[in-house]
Amino acid sequence: MALLPILRFPDPRLRKVAEPVARIDDAIRRLARDMAETMYEAPGIGLAATQVDVHKRLIVIDASETRDELLTLVNPEIVEQSGQQRGEEGCLSVPGIYDKVERAQRVVVRYLDLDGKQQTVEAEGILSVCLQHEIDHLQGRVFVEHLSQLKQQRIKSKLSKQARITA
């Protein structure tokens, strides 16, 4: 088990489009475990492989209050979506920034589990938002890119100031 460093917006590596996982082997299972550990430690409710600079279609999510409902999704794909919701989002790659994003209310996501079995999850509310947010990461998209250009500029300058203070 290991904690993985998380890329920070606007790192250009966050824009890479992830490749499908061709084979679920021990390396993928180890990566999934490390990503889950990193997510719980942060703490966050979701993490995409893109955020740890691995450009494969793999995400981990735990949107439960009890923090014991880990979902690991390989090659996730939204196969149905409906309705609309607008809620506040944050991201481990954009620390300290929260803003409202429009998302589908309900999604159905098809994916492979770590045994290579096809599964589907149907979600509404926060789990639905989280699935859409993490699948966006695999497409090279960070949630702030749903916001206006002006807001994105403000966020970039705020984060670069933080980075200077930290460094």
- Residue 74 or 91: the one with the smaller Cβ distance to Ni ion is 91
CA distances 98 to 38, 118, 143, Å, are 20, 33, 10
* Number of chain residues interacting with Ni ion (CB under 5 A): 1
The catalytic position among 41, 77, 124, 134 is 134
Active site annotation includes 80: no
For residue 87, the minimal CB distance to Ni ion (Å) is: 14
- Residue 102 or 115: the one with the smaller Cβ distance to Ni ion is 102
**Dihedral sign computed on CA atoms, order 70, 48, 125, 63:** positive
Q: What is the largest CA-CA distance in the chain?
A: 46
Instruction: Assess contact for 108 and 122: CB atoms under 8 A.
Output: yes
Give the residue from 1, 91, 9, 88 showing the smallest Cα distance to 42: 91
Instruction: Assess contact for 56 and 90: CB atoms under 8 A.
Output: no
- Residue 116 or 158: the one with the smaller Cβ distance to Ni ion is 158
Site for Ni ion in 55-94 (CB under 5 A): 91
For residue 46, the minimal CB distance to Ni ion (Å) is: 6
User: Is residue 14 close enough to count as binding Ni ion by CB under 5 A?
Assistant: no
Q: Which residues of this protein are in contact with Ni ion, per CB under 5 A?
A: 91
Residues belonging to the active site? 134
